[in-house]
Structure 1
Amino acid sequence: MADRTSADETLTRDELAAFFEHLGTEFAENGELDEQSVQIQVGNKTVQLNPPETVDLSVDVVERSPMLRGTRETIEIEVTWRPSRSD
């Protein structure tokens, strides 16, 4: 069974930077403290995840030209892993 939590938001550039900064801090600080859990705010819910020491990262950038219904740029960032076991 898969649980999915998702949220779509419109953010300012500063708010987006703060989101990524918080995400980076969660991964960095918990790694230093030997804690395995990372807490991520998704909409109005906090999700606790258990990443291992290494994760897989995929970045996809799409730049659409004006000929295809207007100019649009997209970045998709996906981070995946098999959860660490907390014993």
Structure 2
Amino acid sequence: MTKQEFINLYQKKMGIETKKESEKLVSGLFSTLEEILEKGEDLSIVGFGKFEVITQAARTCRNPKTGEAIEIAEKKVVKFKVGKGLAEKVAKYI
């Protein structure tokens, strides 16, 4: 599903009159999530899941073409752990 498809679905589900308004709400949600994660803070939504920022350690990998060792620097990444409620709902459709 694309962002635009999500906005359209959100508009219908919430009964919002204009696409512009629903796009503003969805963009605000994503923007707020980005701000929280940029600060290095975690966001837990009970029943849905937890977004957290973790630090991946530096490591050595190999270039598959040449076999040459490559150093990959330490970096921060976003990790999502699904909540029990969402996991159970998704499992029903598998």
Q: What range is the shorter-chain TM-score in?
A: 0.3 to 0.5
Rg: which structure is higher? 2
Higher normalized helix content (fraction of residues): 2
- TM-score (structure 2 length as normaliser): 0.34
